Amino acid sequence: MKSSNVFYRDLNKEFDEVVDGEGVYLKLKNGEKILDAVAGAAVVAIGHGRKEIFESLKEIDQQSLFYANNGSFTHKWQEELAKKIISISPKNINKVIFSSSGTEANEAAIKIARQYHISKNQPEKYKIISRKQSYHGASLTTLSLSGRSSWREAFSPMMVNAPQIAAPYVFRCHFCENECNLSCANQLEEEILNQGKSSVAAFIAEPIIGTTCTGVVPHRDYYKRIREICDKYDILFIADEIFCGYGRSGSPFAITEWETEADIITISKGLGSGYAAIGATLISEKIYELFYNKNTKLIHGSTYSGLPISTYIAIQVFNIIENENLFLNAKVQGEYLHKQLNKLKEKFDIIGDVRGKGLLAGVEFVKENKTCFNEQENVALKIVNYMRELGVHVGCGIPFTNHGKHSDHIQITPPYIINNDQIDDIVNSLEYAIKKITL
């Protein structure tokens, strides 16, 4: 794309131009119609080309979409959106801070955790523990928390000190042989003690791992144990639901699947569904009450926090999800997706693992005995390209997620409006791609 004035991620790749979208499909400039089975990296919840979003902008008083600096003013759209989000949130959550992205939402969460402990006269608590095989954002701080070696390497001299524990990577578990003993969860307590229990402010984790190792789902008791450890050492638990939250797992918030409460929850992708750049940091009553009673001012803000047009559009997205019962559809269609993928797994030994919940699925490819393919074989990329031959677009997984070694997986995260026939198209194209690789 040397002729373009845009600095693209891959300078040697020619990017297809999208000219239209409808439902789960994208239309390219060359006339090709693509089934978007990743929803733009798990973003487009309500589907492409929802004309009612744009029509609604014509119907309202457009003067109400003026810019209002969040540090000095409020407006009805952010107040209304906050109420809607709280209406579906876990019962301990009662406040929202808006931002422009998931990275910003996580930055806010980290800063709130730090200020929370300062307000409790615990200024020595500042460390944030995270997990390997994770992703929390593109800023230096959030990338420091991320266990994505391929993205961290170039910036390692600039990273902040962020201790990490093992992810609950069941398929490649280093701890348990026949039955889970929650050793990966217990690592949190070990790391707290290793760092010094009075120095740790928070633990951050994706309830279901996103793009770094797509679809990793912990044991049913994992987060209960995490919660116990956090409470024992007065540490906040931050649930990063940028990727897995806002309905993608089949529930409004994935952490509730483990009957566990987080102190802070972050969301973004599905919140704006690709129609607005917006993120949100959800705060528990425990944190808010401390700030309020201590008269602590929040030292945080950003130019486009609570931007009227972004919050207005996010309200329209919320209404569509609610009116069309799309959280439920994500659950129902997700069950069908995983059923069909597991049928495929039974047919082909190259599929080592099918994982995830709802419309969040990861498929990992292996040789015998879980052995990874060589990096030079580009198995996942070949799978993606072969599926594209049949008009299906899936995500190619991040490399080196097998405990720092190369591995191959793909990401399947379609819009919540998908139906059985379209899921069959995805699975059939995957079968076609596997046959091209193996036969």
CA distance 133 to 401: 6
Which of 343, 344, 341, 373 lies closest to 356, judged by CA?
Answer: 341
Residue 12 burial (10 A CB sphere; 0-12, 13-18, 19+): exposed
CA distance 326 to 234: 37
CA distance 140 to 328: 36
Q: What's the per-residue H, E or C state across 25-65?
A: EEEECCCCEEEECCHHHHCCCCCECCHHHHHHHHHCCHHHH
The predicted pLDDT at position 404 comes to 66
The predicted pLDDT at position 338 comes to 98
* Placement of tokens 């789902």 in the chain: 217
Q: Are strands 164-165 and 127-131 parallel, antiparallel or unpaired?
A: parallel
CA distance 185 to 229: 9
CA distance 23 to 350: 31
Question: Rounded to an integer, what is the distance from CA 51 to the centroid of its chain?
Answer: 26
The predicted pLDDT at position 2 comes to 79
The predicted pLDDT at position 152 comes to 87
**What percent of the chain clears pLDDT 70, i.e. is strictly above it?**
99
Question: Rounded to an integer, what is the distance from CA 73 to the centroid of its chain?
Answer: 30
pTM of the model: 0.96
Residue 402 pairs in a beta bridge with: 405
Return per-residue pLDDT of the chain as tens, 439 residues.
778 999 998 888 889 999 999 999 999 999 999 999 999 999 999 999 999 999 999 888 777 888 988 889 999 999 999 999 999 999 999 999 999 999 999 999 999 999 999 999 999 999 999 999 999 999 999 999 998 888 888 998 999 989 999 999 988 888 877 788 899 999 999 999 999 999 999 999 999 999 899 999 999 999 999 999 999 999 999 999 999 999 999 999 999 999 999 999 999 999 999 999 999 999 999 999 999 999 989 999 999 999 999 999 999 999 999 999 999 999 999 999 999 999 999 999 999 999 999 999 999 999 988 888 888 899 999 999 999 999 999 999 887 777 667 789 999 999 999 999 999 999 999 999 999 999 7
The predicted pLDDT at position 428 comes to 98
Query: Could you report the per-residue pLDDT of 207-265, keeping only the tens digit for each?
Result: 999 989 999 999 999 999 999 999 999 999 999 999 999 999 999 999 999 999 999 99
368: CB partners within 8 A, 6+ apart: 349
The predicted pLDDT at position 217 comes to 96
